[in-house]
Amino acid sequence: MAKYIVKRIISAIITIWFIMTLTFILMNSIPGDPMSMGKALQPEVEAAVRAKYGLDKPLIEQYLTYLKNYTHGDFGVSFQKIGLTTNRIIADGFPYSLKIGGWSSLFIIVAGIGFGIISALKQNKIPDRVMMIVSTLGATVPSFVFATLFLYVFNRKLGWVPSFGAGTWKHYIGPVLCIGMFSLAYVTRLTRTSVLDVLQQDYIRTARAKGLSEGVVIIKHALRNALIPVVTYLGPMIASLITGSFVVEKVFGIAGIGSLFTTSITNRDYTLIMGITVFFGIFIVIATLIVDVLYVFIDPRIKYD
């Protein structure tokens, strides 16, 4: 197991290096650069600024500098936010996204799996039909529509939640729901399908033939098997929720890492793009690793040697 984890960490480093290289190539190949924003600078000033940020050096040298700095955990200085390091910017924005994504993940795990099980056990009956319609809506309605609707009803009409910012727990209700809508719908459907599939298995009939009660059959024999595919989805899902959403953060006026990432791209803020990309990359790699390790405990057929 330890050997496996070491192997996975090595492959994770390679993955992240690959992500960095690709990002570097892509961001240098889109038109424009950090200097092309706003009004034109005097040539001497521009040359001075370029020299200061190392943009006058050949691309390969810039690339190697990135790699070197990243090995020390130094993500560089932002090109657009004067005087702020990328590490600082991420450290400021991430807690909001973490809070929203974390609660959202928890909510999805509890509610999504719960709804899915109920739906499967009441297959083709009214609760199932209702949940399937709602989850189809959840998976298809874009989050900005849902977010706007949420604000209109609960802020404008009912006045229950604030519309902007991240001061109290009430501020988080909207973002948590909106960012998780799609995943909630997806997890519900996935759990339902999986439970229905497992209930058809021969070993469920064996369990019933032993004289076990329906509750034991479902909780002990069906659920553990049914949750294996759901866990597969949960890892990347949690990573993507925690890394924030541009749309949701914009609508609810939260300075999270999701909106930072998008603005850094439109600003051609090279260091910030690289920084956040690598940060996300590390997150997703860790989440996948955790899921893969969890598998061993859920499914005895999986062994890593």
Partner 1 sequence: MSDKLLEVKDLRTSFFTHLGEVKAIRGISFDVEKGESIGIVGESGSGKSVTSLSIMKLLLYPGKIVGGEILFNGEDLVNKTNKDMMAIRGNEIAMIFQDPMTSLNPVYTIGDQIAEAIMKHQKLSRKEAHERALEMLKLVNIPDPEKRIHNFPHEFSGGMRQRAMIAIALSCQPQLLIADEPTTALDVTIQAQILDLMKSLNAKLDTSTMLITHDLGVVADVCSRVVVMYGGLIMEKGSIRDIYYEPRHPYTMGLLKSIPKVASDEKQRLIPIPGTPPDLLNPPTGCPFYARCEYAMRICNTQQPPYFKSEDGKHESMCWLLHPDAPKNEKYELLKGGVKIGK
Among 23, 105, 191, 225, binds partner 1 (CB under 8 A): 225
Whichever of 185 and 227 has its CB closer to partner 1, that residue is: 227
What residues from 6 to 45 belong to the interface with partner 1 (CB under 8 A)?
Answer: none
Residue 85, strand partner residues: 77
Only segment of 17-25, 77-85, 199-207, 248-256 that touches partner 1 (CB under 8 A): 199-207
Nearest distance from C-beta of residue 91 to partner 1, angstroms: 41
In the DSSP assignment, the letter for residue 112 is I
User: Binding to partner 1 by residue 294, rule CB under 8 A?
Assistant: no
Spatial CB neighbours of 243, under 8 Å, sequence gap ≥ 6: 97, 101, 257, 258, 261, 279, 280, 283, 284
CA distances from 108 to 42, 102, 191, 250 (A): 53, 10, 12, 22
How many Cα atoms are found within 13 Å in the side-chain-facing hemisphere of 301? 2
Considering only residues 7, 52, 170, 205, which one is a binding residue for partner 1 as defined by CB under 8 A? 205
Does 128 help bind partner 1 (rule: CB under 8 A)? no
Q: 286 vs 298, which CB is nearer to partner 1?
A: 298
Q: Toward partner 1, which CB reaches closer, 43 or 211?
A: 211
Contact by Cβ (8 Å): 230, 187: yes
> Strand, helix or coil at 194?
helix
Residue closest to 105 by CA, chosen among 192, 289, 223, 230: 230
What's the number of CA atoms in the CB half-sphere (13 Å) around residue 104? 31
Q: How many angstroms separate the CA atoms of 221 and 303, rounded?
A: 21
Specify the residue, 208 or 250, whose C-beta has the smaller distance to partner 1. Answer: 208
The correct pick among 33, 46, 92, 299 for binding partner 1 (CB under 8 A) is 299
Kindly indicate which of the ranges 148-156, 157-165, 197-205, 251-259 contains the residues binding partner 1, using the contact rule CB under 8 A: 197-205
Distance CA 58, CA 60 (A): 6
AA letter at 112: G
| Residue 207 engages partner 1 in binding (rule: CB under 8 A) | yes
Please say whether the beta carbons of 248 and 199 come within 8 A.
Answer: no
> Exactly one of 201, 262, 263, 267 binds partner 1 (CB under 8 A); which one?
201
Residue 43 structure tokens: 């040539």
Shortest gap between Cβ of 94 and partner 1 (angstroms)? Answer: 37
Q: Is 50 in the site for partner 1 (CB under 8 A)?
A: no
| DSSP structural state of residue 85 | B
Nearest approach in angstroms of CB 164 to partner 1 is: 48
Task: Determine the interface stretch with partner 1 among 87-95, 99-107, 142-150, 198-206 (rule: CB under 8 A).
Answer: 198-206
Interface residue with partner 1 among 18, 160, 164, 203 (CB under 8 A) is 203
Binding partner 1 (rule: CB under 8 A), the pick from 43, 73, 167, 211 is 211
The answer to whether residue 232 forms part of the interface with partner 1 (CB under 8 A) is: no
Q: Which residues bind partner 1 (CB under 8 A)?
A: 201-203, 205-214, 221, 224-225, 298-301
